[in-house]
Amino acid sequence: KDTRAAGRRRTRAALLFSIFSKSYAVRFHGLERLHPFNAAKGKHIHKALCAELSLVEGSFYEPEELTKHQLRRIHTREYLRSLRWSLNVARIAEVSLMAFVPNKYLQQAYLRPMRFQAAGSILAGKLALDYGWAINLGGGFHHCCSNRGGGFCPYADISLLIVRLFEQEPCRVRRIMIVDLDAHQGNGHERDFNNWETVFILDIYNAFIYPRDHAAKLSIRCGVELQNQTEDAYYLRQLSRCLMQSRADFRPDVVIYNAGTDVLKGDPLGNLDISAEGVLERDRLVFSTFRALGIPVVMLLSGGYTKASAHVIADSIVNLRQHGLLD
């Protein structure tokens, strides 16, 4: 009995640095279903982790909603004002019917949950610095930059996290690496940190899908442009090579890992053929590479548009724990 109780305590401690809030969910009378993005993905992962690891509600940190003042640390005043126009919000969310909805409803049903998810990314950064790792069950809005949103990304949480770490942790954080393994190019943070010597961007993505942002691509220090239907063997081989090269070229103080699962086979937007086992191995490679060096890892979930995505993410987190990477 004592052994089982100790095991449960270790399990709860292992997931203490995961972040989730019920306020993450986008609910808009079904309009959110017009985009392939699973607006309740975080909730499904949370439920699966609680069932798999016998966790309780208190095992997860909950962020507070980002304020306008906090958003202004990265976003221009003009961009934040543009979110008051339903037409612009509809363009960002890629749901044209939203253009005809009063903006106050969009603020509450879509933008407010996204502000909570972005806040979760900020909180994950703080926890990772103190404890070695943190996972936000949301966020990863890598198509948004300081003055423009897109691809269902209204707030630049990755850029905001980087700026806040540099400003608030100058002694502990001088160099940051982004490892972006979402199926889409991370053009938002790439535009924000062009020519920043202190920010290293590794990006592996399908070159034949959105956003095809050639100007942003210039910021990538280590990258691979994948073909449609790329499979596990080639993908993992290129990832291993890039991780080794990046580690040799740049020693970060913290890694922001954008762990999109739209690389999964059958994803309607990613158009790659990575298996669930491939995603688990991908995540293990990233965590083991940097945790072995004592470098904190912040994991954000980003894209993923299949029904299986949430369960694959939950399985991957359990797998990371089983490999001793979430101690």
Whether 236 has a pLDDT exceeding 90, the answer reads yes
Residue 327 pLDDT level (bands cut at 50, 70, 90): confident
52 or 144: whose pLDDT is higher?
Answer: 144
Q: Output the CA–CA distances (angstroms, integers) from residue 138 to 24, 96, 114, 205, 231, in the order listed.
A: 7, 23, 9, 20, 26
Q: Which residues of 73-112 are buried (b: 16+ CB within 10 A; e: fewer)?
A: ebbeeebeebbeebebbbbbbebeebeebebeebeebbbe
> What is the DSSP annotation of 248-289?
HH---SEEEEE---TTBTT-TTT--BB-HHHHHHHHHHHHHH
Whether 315 has a pLDDT exceeding 80, the answer reads yes
Active-site residue (options: 143, 189, 214, 311): 143
pTM: 0.94
| 54 neighbors 4 (Cβ within 8 angstroms) | no
* pLDDT (0 to 100) of residue 2: 36
Burial of 237 per CB tally in 10 Å (0-12, 13-18, 19+): exposed
Task: Choose among 214, 178, 170: nearest CA to 199.
Answer: 178
Give mean pLDDT, residues 227-256.
Answer: 98
Q: What's the CATH class of domain 18-323?
A: alpha beta
Helix, coil or strand: residue 66:
coil
Write phi, then psi, for 272 (nearest 5 degrees).
-115, 170
* 267-301 pLDDT tens trace: 999 999 999 999 999 999 999 999 999 999 999 99
Question: ω before 252 within 30° of 0 (cis)?
Answer: no
Q: Which residues of 2-19 are buried (b: 16+ CB within 10 A; e: fewer)?
A: eeeeeeeeebeebbbbbb
Mean pLDDT, rounded, of the chain: 92
What CA–CA distance (Å, rounded) separates 77 from 53? 44
* 204-223 pLDDT tens trace: 999 999 999 999 999 999 99
* pLDDT (0 to 100) of residue 15: 60
Query: For 210, left (φ over 0), alpha (ψ -120 to 50), or beta?
Result: beta
Tokens of 174: 């001088």
Sketch the domain layout of the chain as residue ranges.
18-323
| 277 neighbors 233 (Cβ within 8 angstroms) | no
Amino acid at 280: L
Q: Is 143 a catalytic residue?
A: yes
Burial of 70 per CB tally in 10 Å (0-12, 13-18, 19+): middle
* pLDDT (0 to 100) of residue 268: 93
* 7-66 pLDDT tens trace: 333 444 446 689 999 999 987 766 656 556 666 789 999 999 998 888 876 789 999 999
* pLDDT (0 to 100) of residue 57: 65
Degrees, nearest 5: CA angle 132-137-139: 95
